[in-house]
């Protein structure tokens, strides 16, 4: 959450007073002076003190979800079930998925109520890698690996950034692979494979940045971030 929202929640301060405390070095984030009221913070992950008083707050939620096929990556929809519908109704306030997966795509989604976090993780400047497990209806070979590496060009002349294709199994009618991309164009993975002559029949995201899908989660299951994953989040906070 934004630092100002955290301070408003725990102290009776105006925005002007908050700015004064920050400018005087009396607000610390992990012992380093805060720089702005808009700093993204979380006392579960960082030690945040105001005039020497540590703030305790566990209102920010982070979940790892193994998205099943058939749900859309949204908070609400008039016609289709969403990934948020999987969560207990009393715990859904403010929850949203970071990024999106196509309706028929499975795998890792991060669900949170930390508004600024999604912007940080999805910001193109971060070049956050996404890794997918893919099954297709035809053969894959070294020429496909090279084309992915060089940057696939779609039929509309859009050029993708370099991607890493690793072939796990290949036959004339069925192949398995993983692919790592660092961008998120519409239906990108499916279009990339169409450009090398095969159709994706199954798609599952298994990694988002440093966050790896928990293999114990069945489709539709979720769990809170563990302590290791919470520490990984620190790089996305001020």
Residues serving a catalytic function are: 102
Q: What SS3 class is residue 229?
A: helix
Q: What SS3 class is residue 235?
A: helix
Per-residue CA distances from 180 to 42, 137, 173, 185 (Å): 30, 20, 23, 13
Nearest to 208 by CA among 182, 235, 177: 182
CA distance 89 to 144: 45
**Can you name the residues that pair with 211 across neighbouring β-strands?**
208
Tokens of 112: 């949170």
Residue showing tokens 């301060």 = 13
Tokens of 187: 């239906």
Cβ contact 238:29 at 8 Å: yes
Strand order in the sheet with 32-33: 32-33, 27-29, 48-50, 53-54
Nearest to 120 by CA among 235, 213, 36, 230: 235
Torsion-angle region of 17 (φ positive above 0: left; ψ -120 to 50: alpha; else: beta): alpha
């Amino acid at each position: 959450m934004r630092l100002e929202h955290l301070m408003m929640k725990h102290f009776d301060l105006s925005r002007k007073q908050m700015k004064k405390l920050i400018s005087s070095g009396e607000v610390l984030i992990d012992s380093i002076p805060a720089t702005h009221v808009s700093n993204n913070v979380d006392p579960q992950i960082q030690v945040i003190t105001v005039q020497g008083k540590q703030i305790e707050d566990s209102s920010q939620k982070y979940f790892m979800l193994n998205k099943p096929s058939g749900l859309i990556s949204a908070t609400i929809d008039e016609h289709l079930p969403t990934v948020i519908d999987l969560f207990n109704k009393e715990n859904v306030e403010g929850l949203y998925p970071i990024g999106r997966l196509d309706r028929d795509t499975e795998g890792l989604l991060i669900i949170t109520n930390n508004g600024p976090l999604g912007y940080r993780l999805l910001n193109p400047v971060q070049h956050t890698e996404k890794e997918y497990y893919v099954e297709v209806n035809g053969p894959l070979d070294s020429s496909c690996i090279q084309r992915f590496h060089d940057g696939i060009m779609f039929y509309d002349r859009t050029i993708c950034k370099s991607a890493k294709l690793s072939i796990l199994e290949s036959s004339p009618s069925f192949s398995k692979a993983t692919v790592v991309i660092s961008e998120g164009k519409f239906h990108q993975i499916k279009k990339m494979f169409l450009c090398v002559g095969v159709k994706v029949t199954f798609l599952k995201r298994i990694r988002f940045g440093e966050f790896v899908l928990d293999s114990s989660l069945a489709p539709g299951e979720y769990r809170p971030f563990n302590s290791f994953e919470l520490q990984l989040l620190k790089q996305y906070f001020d």
